[in-house]
Amino acid sequence: MDLESCSYVLPLLTCCLFLLYSITCYALAAAAGGGGSCGGSDDHAAPRSYPLVGCLLDFYRNRRRLLAWYTGLLAASPSQTIVVDRLGARRTVVTANPANVEHVLRANFGNYPKGKAFTDVLGDLLGGGIFNADGERWFAQRKLVSHEFSARVMREAVGVALEREARARLLPALDAAAEGGGGVVVVDVQELLRQFAFNVICRVALGGGGGEVALALPLSRLAAAFDAAAAISARRGAAPVAAAWKVKRALGVGSERRLREEVKVIRDAIMEFVRDSSSRRRREQLLAAARGRDDLVSRMAASGYPDEAICDMVVSFIMAGRDTTSSALTWFFWLMTRHRNVEREVLDEVDACMGDGGGLAGVDLEGSRRARVLHAALCETMRLSPPVAWDSKHAAEDDVLPDGTRVGRGDRVTYFPYGMGRMEAIWGADAGEFRPGRWLAAAAAGGGVSPFKYPVFQGGPRTCLGKDMAFVQMKFVASAVLRRFELRPVAPEGSPEFVPLLTAHMAGGLKVTVRRRQRQNGTFSIDKIVMQKPVVD
């Protein structure tokens, strides 16, 4: 038997053995009047459990709808917490309780690192970069990378990258669609936004600024490698039995072989850039300082980091920023097509804040900061469709959560932004509705919304450093697109499928037709800025 055949036979054999074992346990449990629970706060809310295999049967049965399954169980639990025990996995506490989230992310932060189980899943792709680091290594990297999110960098590097990508690709592509058929040409907005966000974050991380990033391969090929590697890594984390992917990795077959190949593409390209950049910095340090180069790679090299560590950091930086904003914006534009009244409010506010536009593709970055309705609409979008559906930590020592749930050393504790956004216990009876006004009301009351009630950007010491950058980018894109174009989805009525990989996306993309925006005071002319034809690298 060849190795490729093993990639199918071994997982299949494993599943058959577990199925046979589970059926036997099910029969024994039924004969004994069995069942029980997985140990949640409310036995009626917990998935069914059987001797030895635990919740494996229920988990496997719901593996393609875990978001809805967990959300239903948590909503039925008085404490919004359940405990899942299943064969082949660590004991897992899943919570949508804000008090528990605050305890894990802030009050007892030191006891809840990401943990080896998490870093193993992403280690081949991310190495020891900030997104996959704990302890002192994480703290040192966070301190260094925090410079990337200063007001000056946001204004200069991020602003320039946003303008360039908007002029070169995003807006011309939409304009061409509007020009090319009066509602006939179909565009996948999700794919456009993903390309846009990937190019922007590469320019910020690698110092391309307003020019090209000098990589040895096109950005489109690098993006494809990231897509494949992220998808396979996500499937690792969702595997019912972790041993299956670990065996495939050891044998170098199937999806694990593909992961190894795509990671090599990513790391070879970035390492070549890093080595060239580091060498150039050593040779031309004074000249580089005179030019004012202050990108992430340059500063890590100047701080004495080895090339491998710089590569890890760059990969983590790109992973953290590549799809989060594009995911949120995809759902935002879809929601605007379903809530035209909110879209009108956003447009009126954007026009008032932007005036005639400004230099950045018709968007005034400072004006966008004042766009309160737009900010509220984006927050409400991410409440219902968070870019990261869930996040896990692993307990370093035994603990008890505020709601009384026991946590053992090594247990996984998962907080669940997707489910939290749907909890009536948190948001009220209209939790399932898109209502940006709830954010305006919270701001008017002076308290805002707790990050532990809305942990889309985490909270506590590990709060997302890129939060402000994300809002700058989302407001920029939303303003630039909505002022010029009306998007009309081609799919039938109904909600698209939310797919929770490492970063969530919309199944099948957001397919739209594009029309130039007609305003009461005339058409907002796309000729107000100078653009080129869409760039294809």
Question: Which residue ranges make up the annotated binding site for heme?
Answer: 464
Nearest to 133 by CA among 309, 297, 260, 397: 309
What are residue 505's phi and psi, to 5 degrees?
Answer: -145, 170
Report the run of H or E that residue 122 belongs to, with start and end: helix 116-126
Name the burial class of residue 533, with classes exposed (0-12), middle (13-18) and buried (19+) by CB atoms within 10 angstroms of its CB.
Answer: exposed
Contact between 198 and 150 (Cβ < 8 Å):
no
Tell me how far the alpha carbon of residue 475 is from its chain's centroid: 17
230, 310, 256: which is closest to 502 by C-alpha? Answer: 230
Whether the CB-CB separation of 201 and 503 falls below 8 Å is answered with no
Binding site, annotated residues: 464
- The Cα–Cα gap between 165 and 361 comes to 10
Q: CA–CA separation, 13 vs 452, rounded Å?
A: 42
DSSP structure class, residue 45: G
- Cα torsion 192, 196, 197, 200 to 10°: value is 180
DSSP letters for 100-120:
HHHIIIIITGGG----HHHHH
Long-range residue pairs from 453-458, CB within 8 A, at least 24 positions apart, any chain: 453/98, 453/101, 453/420, 453/426, 454/379, 454/383, 454/417, 454/420, 454/421, 455/101, 455/105, 455/391, 455/415, 455/417, 455/420, 456/382, 456/383, 456/386, 456/387, 456/388, 456/417, 458/105, 458/391
The C-alpha angle with vertex 267 and arms to 261 and 268, in degrees rounded to 5, equals: 85
Question: 518-521: which pairs have CB atoms within 8 A and are 24 or more residues apart?
Answer: 518/486, 519/351
